[in-house]
Amino acid sequence: MEELQDAIEDAQYVNAIAMVDEGPRPVLPWELPSEEALAEWKEKVRKRDNGENGAPEGFSFQWTVSYSLGLFLFSAYLKEKCDDYVRINFIEEVARWRGIRGRQKLEKARKIVSAYLTPRETDEETGDTTKPLKSEIDEHDLERQLPTFSKDEIQTLYDENFDLSTSKCCVGLDGPIRDALVETIAKARSKSSSATSASESAKTMSTIKEGISQNGSDNADAIEGDTSSNVDESSATDDRKSSSAPREGILQRTASRQLQAQHLPDDFFDKAEAVVAESLRQQYWEGFQESAECAKLNNFLWYKDRKTVEDDFFVMRVLGRGGFGLVTACKKGTSGKLYAMKVMNKKRIKIKKSEQLTLNERQSLAAVESPFVVNLKYSFQSKDDIFLILDLMTGGDLNFHLGQKGRFPKKECLYYAARIMLGLQALHDQGYVYRDLKPENCLLGDDGRVKITDLGLATKVTPTLHGAAGTRGYWAPEMLRRDKKGKRMPYGYSVDWFSFGCVVAEFISGTNPFRSEMALNFGLERGKKTKEKAIDCATLEMDPVFDPTKYSDDAADLCRRLLDKNEKTRLGANNCNEIMMHPWFREVNWEMIITDRKRPPFVPPKDVNAASQSEIGTFAEDKTFNETVLEEKDEEVYKDWDWINPKAFAAEVIEFLIYERETGEPLLPIQPPSSCCCVIS
């Protein structure tokens, strides 16, 4: 009977992940507040967001459109109810521009200026001035940056630069702000043309003189020049063409200098965008506040601030087992969004005295918002358990896929290593060291994107941080060292780069150098009596050997420098930039990786990609468990546990609203069970 139930849950899970691309499938209606509850909530928001320290006041124009959900609904109001889309489209395009990095940013700015800030052509048939094409917000995370100007400064800029009847552009800008933007872009276009011509001439001469073929440097969607297969780390010969490497580096540096010459400041559009936004505020804000869109926004934001409970989620298949409970796939009832639910029992945590570990995990997850780290969406608690709702990574972990493939081809090695490295740096940037990097903690999404997970051992770096943590064989040597008095030595971020070296070596060869037969024999030959002590001995003393049939020269050099036993000279000791510059990564287009636009080289099958539920098992409630009692002081530990990721909530709702917009119908026309619960429409 249990096997039948497991099979049913597996089928439901596979069906759910297979239908993700078809849109949200909610199973619960959104709860609506009563008038009294809404008024009480608004009063709390006004007290919380009272305009101190330059922040916008609650429910003001700037406060509203700085939220992705507020911008989405204000935009929908202008386009659907006011038939006025050009100015809000300009604001949306500027918001997108702010999220772009590298060479694409100048080209995007050119397009914005051309479409919105230069004179438009006249339609020969109607005699009307043409407009840019209307566009809708299709992203779940488009946010408007708050202006850095005061109200008085914005008003002055508006008075000096806005005239809706101007023929100079279609967004009403007519003054020094528009003129400066147009002139800057015109000059950049001229410089770019000259630089491109010179660059092409130089490349041609270089090719003639040196016979060098420049491969893929302009291909923005590739790990360039890689035609590798599964053999020999995808052919080591490419990495060994050292004669061309210096010239390639020079050309890359030249291209970088050209890009810097064309660089636009991050505040390039700030004044123009602030003026156009102010024009919309003056013309439409009062009407929006009385609109159905504004009411919908307030209802959703009230719902966000309500207490999250276990019944908000529907549990599907068990995916794994942690130290204190199970990890299951689940569905958010109101939005139909799929997540992973990590459940940790308060008694088991108390028995193992691991309260601080769980708090560290919750705090580090909430602190890091990165496409390279599994993100926290919700945290809440019940009487017996605490819950973490996380990204659902349905593609399995990299240890699972290593077991399937033996080792990864070079394209996958580069892609996984690049993303994992940026995930570690994202944690370091927030003051956390990860301490638990291994293939099992690197999860694939359904699209093949990898993220690091399980931040239970992540902790803030302090001058006295010490003690081995994580998995033996991935520990850095400084975790094991002791001073003359026998005390553990302190360590910092660099331990993660040693673990990273172990993982990269494992991707390339299929084996972690310090969890290998060679490492075991190294320790045993030196008198270590147990496997654990032998591995520790190898970690402290053994220099790994990198098989040339599996490692190219560059790959071996990268791993050797990452596995440097001196944490001060270890590659990465001065942050990930020095790793990114290593020749092994020369084929990686970092702009595409960092902006999360690089297409994964491998997409996992839409299957369970996890151990069977019988293998995962359950937790037995033994005598110790039953005799453990939770006291008031135990509950006090979790007083700040509850949390909602505002970006994740907004993404849920916007995905829901986009689906309704595209279908033209309410997504969930279910009759509410009571007067206070219904579909928000």
Q: For residue 416, give the nearest of 324, 508, 527, 341 by alpha carbon.
A: 508
What's the pLDDT band for 608 if we cut at 50, 70, 90? low
Bridge partners (DSSP) of residue 345 are 385
Angle between helices 245-261 and 176-210 (to 10 degrees): 160
Residue 180 to residues 106, 171, 192, 272, 388: CA-CA distances in angstroms? 15, 16, 18, 10, 49
Coil/strand/helix, residue 323:
coil
DSSP string, 142-169: --PPPPSS-HHHHHHHHHHHB-TT-SS-
Dihedral angle at the C-alpha atoms of 221, 224, 227, 231, nearest 10 degrees? Answer: -110
| pLDDT the model gives residue 478 | 95
Query: Which residues are known binding-site members for ATP?
Result: 342
Q: For residue 252, give the nearest of 585, 596, 599 by alpha carbon.
A: 585
| pLDDT the model gives residue 511 | 95
pTM of the model: 0.80
- Segment 429-437 shows an average pLDDT of 96
What's the pLDDT band for 127 if we cut at 50, 70, 90? confident
Q: For residue 491, give the nearest of 466, 458, 470 by alpha carbon.
A: 466
Name residues whose C-beta falls within 8 Å of residue 617's C-beta, 6 or more positions apart in sequence. 321
| pLDDT the model gives residue 237 | 38
Residue 298: half-sphere exposure toward Cβ, Cα within 13 Å: 22
Q: For residue 235, give the nearest of 387, 96, 409 by alpha carbon.
A: 409
Name residues whose C-beta falls within 8 Å of residue 440's C-beta, 6 or more positions apart in sequence. 397, 398, 399
Q: Is there a contact between 175 and 210 (Cβ–Cβ < 8 Å)?
A: no
| pLDDT the model gives residue 231 | 40
- Segment 390-405 shows an average pLDDT of 93
- Segment 502-517 shows an average pLDDT of 96
Q: Which two tokens stand for residue 378?
A: 């919700």
Q: CA 506, CA 408: separation in Å to the nearest integer? A: 9
- Segment 449-453 shows an average pLDDT of 97
Q: CA 299, CA 312: separation in Å to the nearest integer? A: 17
Coil/strand/helix, residue 55:
coil
183-197, 430-444, 489-503, 543-557: lowest mean pLDDT where?
A: 183-197
Q: For residue 476, give the nearest of 536, 529, 399, 560 by alpha carbon.
A: 536
Q: Which two tokens stand for residue 108?
A: 């995007």
Q: Is there a contact between 146 and 54 (Cβ–Cβ < 8 Å)?
A: no
At which residue do the structure tokens 């240890």 appear?
A: 399
Query: 549-581: per-residue pLDDT in tens?
Result: 999 999 999 999 999 999 999 999 999 999 999
Class of the CATH-defined domain 35-184+266-302:
mainly alpha
Residues in the chain: 681
- Segment 493-499 shows an average pLDDT of 97
Is 436 a catalytic site residue?
A: yes
Query: 308-327: per-residue pLDDT in tens?
Result: 999 999 998 888 877 788 89
Query: 161-202: per-residue pLDDT in tens?
Result: 999 999 999 999 999 999 999 999 998 877 666 555 555 555
Given a cut of 80, whether residue 681 has pLDDT beyond it is no
Q: For residue 441, give the nearest of 503, 362, 371, 519 by alpha carbon.
A: 503
- Residue 372 DSSP class: T
Q: Which two tokens stand for residue 633?
A: 């002081």
Q: Which two tokens stand for residue 667?
A: 């997504």
Name residues whose C-beta falls within 8 Å of residue 183's C-beta, 6 or more positions apart in sequence. none
52-56, 306-310, 344-348, 382-386: lowest mean pLDDT where?
A: 52-56
- Chain center to CA of 335: 21
Q: Which two tokens stand for residue 460?
A: 């803030």
- Segment 536-548 shows an average pLDDT of 94
Average pLDDT of every residue of the chain: 85
Q: CA 371, CA 596: separation in Å to the nearest integer? A: 7
- Segment 266-280 shows an average pLDDT of 97
Q: Is there a contact between 57 and 51 (Cβ–Cβ < 8 Å)?
A: yes
Q: CA 324, CA 347: separation in Å to the nearest integer? A: 9
- Segment 577-594 shows an average pLDDT of 94
At which residue do the structure tokens 């691309």 appear?
A: 21
| pLDDT the model gives residue 175 | 95
Q: CA 78, CA 55: separation in Å to the nearest integer? A: 25
Amino acid at 655: E
Q: CA 447, CA 591: separation in Å to the nearest integer? A: 19
- What share of the chain in percent tops pLDDT 90? 68
Amino acid at 79: K
**202 sits in which H/E element:** helix 176-210
**424 sits in which H/E element:** helix 410-429
Coil/strand/helix, residue 214:
coil
- Chain center to CA of 518: 38
Q: CA 47, CA 422: separation in Å to the nearest integer? A: 38
Q: Which two tokens stand for residue 252?
A: 């890359």
Superfamily name with CATH number, domain 2-18+307-393+612-645: Phosphorylase Kinase; domain 1 (3.30.200.20)
Q: CA 428, CA 434: separation in Å to the nearest integer? A: 8
Q: Which of 2-11, 214-223, 665-674 is predicted most confidently?
A: 665-674
Given a cut of 60, whether residue 292 has pLDDT beyond it is yes
Superfamily name with CATH number, domain 398-594: Transferase(Phosphotransferase) domain 1 (1.10.510.10)
DSSP string, 270-297: HHHHHHHHHHHHHHHHHHHHTSHHHHHH
- Segment 494-505 shows an average pLDDT of 97
Query: Which residues are known binding-site members?
Result: 342
- Segment 198-215 shows an average pLDDT of 44
Q: CA 100, CA 106: separation in Å to the nearest integer? A: 9
The active-site residue, picked from 174, 226, 436, 564, is 436
Name residues whose C-beta falls within 8 Å of residue 277's C-beta, 6 or more positions apart in sequence. 61, 65, 91, 144, 147
Helices (H), 49-103: 61-65, 68-80, 86-98
Query: 52-102: per-residue pLDDT in tens?
Result: 888 899 999 999 999 999 999 999 999 999 999 999 999 999 999 998 877
Q: What are the residue ranges spanned by the domains of the chain?
A: 2-18+307-393+612-645, 35-184+266-302, 398-594
Q: CA 252, CA 255: separation in Å to the nearest integer? A: 5
Q: CA 13, CA 6: separation in Å to the nearest integer? A: 10
